[in-house]
Structure 1
Amino acid sequence: MPETSPNTAPLTVLYDGDCPLCRREMALYRSLEPRAPLCFVDISDTRTALPPGRTRAELLARFHLRNPDGELLSGAAAFVALWAALPGWRWLARMAHLPGVEWLLERCYRLFLRLRPRLQRWAARLDRKRANH
C-alpha cells in the first residue's frame, strides 16, 4: 500500500522503522485494505517532521497514531484506533471498547514494552539469518 500524505490521511501511523518487530507489524497492516487511507510515517527517519511538542525519543518509545483532528493517541488507544480501520481487525477494536478491556490492553502493552528490547534483538537475529541464506 503506498504511503499517503499525512495531510490527507484520516489516520497517521507513527512507527519505529528501525525496529524489526515494528517493520513486520506495519507490513502486515499495509497489506490489508483499510476502510480509509492510512499514512505510515517512520519516526526513526531523522528527516521526518515530528508532531508539535513531541520528541523523537518520546515517539519511538511507544506506538502512536494521529487522528484526522490532530489528536495523538498512544499505546493501546492507538492500536484500537488502527484496528477499527482495518478489515479483519475491527472485531478486536469493538471488543476493546468493552468495560475494562482497553485498560487491560494498555497494561499488557506496557509489559510488552519491557520485553521489547529482547524481542527486537531476537527478531534482528532472525532477519540476519534469513539474509544470509
Structure 2
Amino acid sequence: MTQATQDTEMAGTENGPVVYYDGSCPLCTAEIGHYAGQPGGDRLSFVDVSQPGTNPGPDLTPRDAMRRFHVRLPDGRLLSGARAFVAIWEVLPRWRWAARIAGLPGMPTVLELAYRAFLPVRPLLSRIAAALGAKPANSCPQGK
C-alpha cells in the first residue's frame, strides 16, 4: 500500500468524507453502490475495510469499522452510526432532505437508537439481500 493510499484511508479527502464499509457484506455493498451512483457521489471516497491491509487510522480498527458504519470528515473527525449516515446525506443533493430532518431537535437520538436496533438484524438482512441478488464487493471477511 502506498503512502498516498494510507493517507486517503485515514483522513477525509479535500473533496469530501471517506466512507468505510464492509465489502464482504452484500447489503453494505449494495448501499454503498447506491450512494456512489448518486449525484455528488464523486465527492465521497469509499474504503472497503474487509480488504486485508486496510488501515482506516489509529482511532479505528478494520474490525470495528466492519461492525459499525464510520465516515471520516475532511478535517479528520471520525463519525459513526447515524451521524455517519447524516454526513453522507449532507454531501448528496438528493439526500439533503434526510440530512435536514436528521437535524431536527431529538432526531439524532432517534436515528442512533434506530441504527442500534438495526445492527443485530444486519446479518439476516444481508442474507436476504444476497438471496435477492446483491453481491458483496469481495469475499474476504477480515475480522468477523
Q: What TM-score, normalized by structure 2, do the two folds share?
A: 0.79
Identity %: 48
Question: How many residues of Structure 1 are paired with residues of Structure 2 in the alignment?
Answer: 124
Question: Which of 94, 111, 123 is the aligned partner of 1:117?
Answer: 123
Q: Secondary structure at the match of 1:89?
A: helix
Q: What letter corresponds to residue 64 of structure 1 in structure 2?
A: H
**Is the counterpart of residue 34 in structure 1 residue 40 in structure 2?**
yes
Question: Which of 24, 29, 41 is the aligned partner of 1:23?
Answer: 29
Q: Secondary structure at the match of 2:94?
A: coil
Query: How far apart are residue 36 of structure 1 and its match?
Result: 6.6
Query: Does structure 1 retain, via aligned residues, the 8 Å contact 2:39–2:94?
Result: no
For residues 8 and 43 of structure 1, the distance between their equivalents in structure 2, rounded to whole angstroms, comes to 21
Q: What is residue 105 of structure 2 aligned with on the other side?
A: 99
For residues 76 and 42 of structure 2, the distance between their equivalents in structure 1, rounded to whole angstroms, comes to 16
For residues 59 and 31 of structure 1, the distance between their equivalents in structure 2, rounded to whole angstroms, comes to 22
Which is bigger in relative contact order (C-alpha 8 A, separation at least 6)?
A: 2
**Is the counterpart of residue 54 in structure 1 residue 54 in structure 2?**
no
Q: Secondary structure at the match of 2:85?
A: helix
For residues 29 and 42 of structure 2, the distance between their equivalents in structure 1, rounded to whole angstroms, comes to 21
Deviations 1:44-90 (A, max 9, x none): 11122221132221111011000011111000000001000001100
For residues 71 and 56 of structure 2, the distance between their equivalents in structure 1, rounded to whole angstroms, comes to 12
Q: What letter corresponds to residue 63 of structure 2 in structure 1?
A: A
Question: Which of 68, 75, 78 is the aligned partner of 1:72?
Answer: 78
Q: Which runs of 5 or more structure 1 residues have no equivalent in the other structure?
A: 129-133
Query: How far apart are residue 8 of structure 1 and its match?
Result: 3.9
Moved beyond 3 Å, runs of 4+:
none
For residues 20 and 65 of structure 1, the distance between their equivalents in structure 2, rounded to whole angstroms, comes to 19
Q: What letter corresponds to residue 38 of structure 1 in structure 2?
A: L
Q: What TM-score, normalized by structure 1, do the two folds share?
A: 0.86
